[in-house]
Structure formats: C-alpha cells, structure tokens
Chains A and B, each alone.
Chain A
Amino acid sequence: MSGVLVVMEQRSGTWNRMSFEALAAGLDLAAKLGLECTAAIVGDAVQSLPWQSDTQPKTVYAVEDSLLKDYTSDGFVTALEQLIRKLQPGYVLFPHTYQVRDFAPALATRFGQVLISDVIAIHDGPVFVRQLLQGKLNADYRHSSTGPCFVSVQAGSFRAEASSGGSMSMEAFAPALESSTIRNKPGERFRESAQTVDLTAAPLIVSVGRGIGEQDNLPVVEELATALGAELAASRPICDNGWLPMERQVGSSGQTVSPKLYLAVGISGAIQHLVGMKGAKTVIAINKDENAPIFEVADYGIVGDLFEIVPALTKAIQAAKS
C-alpha cells in the first residue's frame, strides 16, 4: 500500500473545478507523507482532455470505456475498484461532489473501508477534519484500518490555482465492464422552468432562513429588503416549505451569488448554504445563537432576536433614505 490516488471528475469533456482542489489536497498529503501522487479520470474518450493545472501528479490514468460515457454508480464503482486493486494506493481522494456522494461510499465498502466524507482540512497524522451538526462543531477523524483510506474533500477547503496552462499526457486504463451489470438508466440533465429572478446579478441581497419561524412572519424581512432596495433570497428549508419559490434559494442546490451585501437573517450557515454566498463582498448576519457557523464567514455579526433587530433596522434605513 503506497501512494495517493486522486479521482477527478469531468462531464462531457469539461473538468469539474473541484477536481483540482482535490488534486491540491492529494499533492499536499503525498508531499507530507513522502508518497507519490497519481490521479484518475473516468469516462469515455477522456484521454485527450486538456490539463488545466500548473501542478502535476506523477501519472494521470484515463479510465475509459463506452459504458462510462454517462455516469452510473455501477459503472464507476466497478471501474475504479479495478484501478485501485491494480495501483494499491494508501489513500484515495475525491472532490465531495454530488456524483462522488453517489458512488464513493459504495466503492469504499468494496474494500471494507469507510469514506471520510466532506473533509475541510488534513493535519499531520494524517488527521482528517470534518464538520458535525451542520457546522456547529469540527471533528478529527483517523483511519484505523489497513486497507486504503478513502477521503472526499469539501468545496472551497483546499486552494487550487486556476490555470489554463500545463500539459499532461494520460495513461489509458481499460477496465473490464459488462453492460448487464449496470442497473440504472440515467436520463438527460434538465432544469426546471425558466428562472424569472436572477439573484446572481443582484448587488444587494437580504436572505431569510428558518429562524423566521413561519410563513406569516415573512413580511418582517420583506419590508427590510424593500427599504434597502435589495432582492429577497432564502435558505433551502424556506423554499422546501413552499414559503418562497425555489428560484430564490441560495446554496449548492440553488443559486450562487456574489453581491456587494448579503444580509443573512435567521440562517445558521450550513456549508451547502455558504458555498452559494461566500463570494459576497460584505456579509452581515443576524442570529440568536452566538455559535451559529454563519458568524464564521460574516464581516459583521449581530447576536439577537431577528424580530427585535430587523424592524429596528428597517426603520433606521427608511429614515436614512428619506
């Protein structure tokens, strides 16, 4: 057992940018442990994909088969199992994408291992840090088994310098696959009906979370948004409940915004929300829990009851504007 293998992701010939963050984490881990770092990419005819990083692993394996053209868990698990048995890496790293969530736990199970998922940092040891309770706590994990250690890394946790340069020739790896073992039939990707609000261009956003309690309380934040001339956005539970339309959702399964101001009201700051708004220039958060993770990314924090703070703020803004 030796080496670090980073499993990268592409779709229809386009890299998933998170792949290069996972690669950065893999190269770093390999350097720390004095191991070699290799990478793999899975698909059909992916060997000619232009490399998009200045950093280079020792080898990149193009795991290719026509049955791997469209993603299926069965196809990917079977193909990667064969590659891992051949290379015998000590560590296998992935970006924590939706696709990786779908197959990596099953792949680890094939080796009697458990994926350490959604890792935000890797310390000496190696110790893998991941979040508990939606970001309220961090936890240190260690691999305590003898097989390969499977790890997926969270978006934005490891820095990958964007680059169009660099070149890398890939080595082909042809897995033995049979179409009869692929049980799922994936369809085309699609979006729901056209979006009518474009939050991505909004300079000012007031965003509301579950702290609002019930739908009837929404006017409290709507009035603040109106006073500021801001767009109203929300966390997922607000849209799940149907209190606001889905197109106002910010986060990994909603919109990614980068306004001048993001004013988060009663939002705890789970990672799936943060990835959608971390690019905001100034973040102001109002939350009654001083340990809410949203304060970790806020420039200005207000610990208090939104039902007291928000109306006062609305009034002050109206006064300042008139």
Chain B
Amino acid sequence: MKIVVAIKQVPERDAPIRIAADGRWIEEGDLSYTINEPDAYALEEALQLKEKTGSGEVIVVCAGPERVESTLREALAKGADRAIRIEADDLQSLDTLGVASILAEAIKAESPDLILTGLQSDDLGLGQTGVVLAELLAIPHATIIMQVEPTGAGLKVKRELEDGWFQHVEMPLPALLTIQSGGNKLRYATLMGIKKAKTKELKTVSPTTPPTAPAITLERVYLPEKQKKTEMLTGSPDEIAARVVEKLKFEVRAL
C-alpha cells in the first residue's frame, strides 16, 4: 500500500506563548517546534500498516517554511521512506481551503492508496484539513480513527465516538483517514534510523495554483478572559498545603 501522511509542525506544548506585534498571531522567532501529536500517531499507523502488509511506501508531506524540514527528517528517521515539503512561507495567510488545496496538488501527483492526517492540529485546532482534503480529492474519508485494518479491496476502521463509544466503518480505497491519538504505541527513532534518514529523499515542491482569497480571516488573537473568579493560593509548598487543607475541611468538606 502506498500511504501518504500529512504532518504539521506545531509549537512545543510547553513553549512560552507571546502574541505578535500585529496582534494576529504569535511571535514565532523564539519558539521551538515539534510534530503535531495526532500526526505522530498517523505516521505510526502508516509504518505499522506497511510492516503488516510487508510492502508499500510511506511518504510524509508537510506544507510550511524551511524549518519544517527538521520535523520531516524526524519522520524519515522513524521509518518513512520519502518526504515532501510544500513551500508555504506564510501559512497564516491561508485558510483551511488554501492549505488543503496545496496539499491536494502535491498528494495527487503521488496517487496514494491511503492518506492519513491527524484529527486536529494543536495550534489552530481546526480539525478540518483532512476532511477538506478528501473532498478536494473526491475520495471517501472517516474521522477520529483509532484502528485501521486492510480488507482486500478496502479498509475496516474503528471510529471513536463521544463518551467512550466506538463504531466500525468499512470503506473502499483510495481513502483518507484522520487519526486520533492513542491507537498505537509511538516508536522512537533509532540511531540507525537517524543515520539512514540523512540519505533519504526530502524534496521541496512549490504550489502551482495561486491561492484564492481566504473565505475566513483571523483578525485578532488575545488572552482569554477568566470565566470564574479563581482564588490563587500562594506561599511555600507547606503554606499552600495548609491552606488547601483548610479549604478541604471547611468548604469542600472532604476531610
């Protein structure tokens, strides 16, 4: 099976966030980046599918500026066969349709059997790019997927639903799945893998279709207002502990 995995590079979770001067995005200069977490699970699923079927190819694709190549290299070190970076220096100027369009163009050229994306990005949290991409490519899709099983002509997937429910869905190939975290155990890159990754192909392509005007625009980002009055407890750990015990005794009545 030929599998394309769309991965996004996002700010590290613990990275300190500062709002950019124009108030429309965050200061990127001082951030460190990593692979979007559900995308790591999408890559893992792709690698395991290739290992299970004993043949095929795993291609990782990312749209973004040059810095995303470090994340693509990491995916190669974990076992992806090839990587494609789609040049997009200013992702912020594109909406979901814009990003999905340039992904669609690059992926179409590969005619994969299966496309995997993460279910949602940690930074924008849109949860849409995969579904839009499937629609643009006119292939079936399923979202929030925990398990993938090839069935001759197609796939049987396990979809997560709300409140601990699941559902199996069968679908023909080619198809697109958006992968939820937790379906597999993630692997680490081995030293051997890291060495090999240096010789693997990482090519850069530029989108040929000019972006259409965005349908939606992000105007302003800001810190959320508190919904509830939170009383902050301060002091040394022992002082804090004593105050919490007081609250537990007299307010929560847990002690």
User: Complex: how many Å from CA A270 to CA B201?
Assistant: 37
User: Complex: how many Å from CA A242 to CA B228?
Assistant: 33
Q: Determine whether the beta carbon of A185 is less than 8 Å from that of B171.
A: yes
Q: Determine whether the beta carbon of B222 is less than 8 Å from that of A296.
A: no
Q: Determine whether the beta carbon of A106 is less than 8 Å from that of B241.
A: no
Q: Determine whether the beta carbon of B230 is less than 8 Å from that of A98.
A: no
B52 within 8 A of A: no
CB of A26 to closest CB in B, whole Å: 18
Residues of A within 8 A of B96 (CB): 105, 114-115
**Residue-wise interface mask of B (153-183) relative to A, using a CB-CB cutoff of 8 A (1 in contact, 0 not):** 0000000111111111111100000001110
| Known contacts A190-B166, A254-B164, A320 near B249 by CB under 8 Å | yes
Residues of A within 8 A of B228 (CB): 296-299
Q: Determine whether the beta carbon of B215 is less than 8 Å from that of A147.
A: yes
Interface residues on A, range: 35 or more
Out of B11, B170, B217, B222, which one reaches A185, CB within 8 Å?
A: B170
Out of B141, B142, B230, B253, which one reaches A296, CB within 8 Å?
A: B230
Residues of A within 8 A of B211 (CB): none
Q: Determine whether the beta carbon of A260 is less than 8 Å from that of B253.
A: yes
B91 within 8 A of A: no
Q: Determine whether the beta carbon of B220 is less than 8 Å from that of A187.
A: no
Cross-chain pair count, CB within 8 angstroms: 264
User: Complex: how many Å from CA A114 to CA B100?
Assistant: 11
User: Complex: how many Å from CA A191 to CA B165?
Assistant: 5
B49 within 8 A of A: no
| Known contacts A112-B97, A141-B219, A309-B237, A192 near B254 by CB under 8 Å | no
A58 within 8 A of B: no
Q: Determine whether the beta carbon of A186 is less than 8 Å from that of B169.
A: yes
Q: Determine whether the beta carbon of A316 is less than 8 Å from that of B241.
A: yes
Q: Determine whether the beta carbon of B241 is less than 8 Å from that of A313.
A: yes
User: Complex: how many Å from CA A118 to CA B96?
Assistant: 14
Within 8 A of B (CB), among A301-315: 301-304, 308-309, 311-313, 315
7 additional A-B pairs beyond A105-B132, A300-B230, beta carbons within 8 Å, are A98-B143, A112-B97, A137-B222, A145-B213, A187-B168, A246-B164, A253-B164
B residues lining the A interface (CB < 8 Å): 11, 13-14, 17, 19, 26, 37, 95-97, 100, 119, 122-128, 131-132, 134-136, 140-144, 160-172, 180-182, 185, 212-224, 226-228, 230-234, 237-238, 240-242, 244-245, 247-249, 251-255
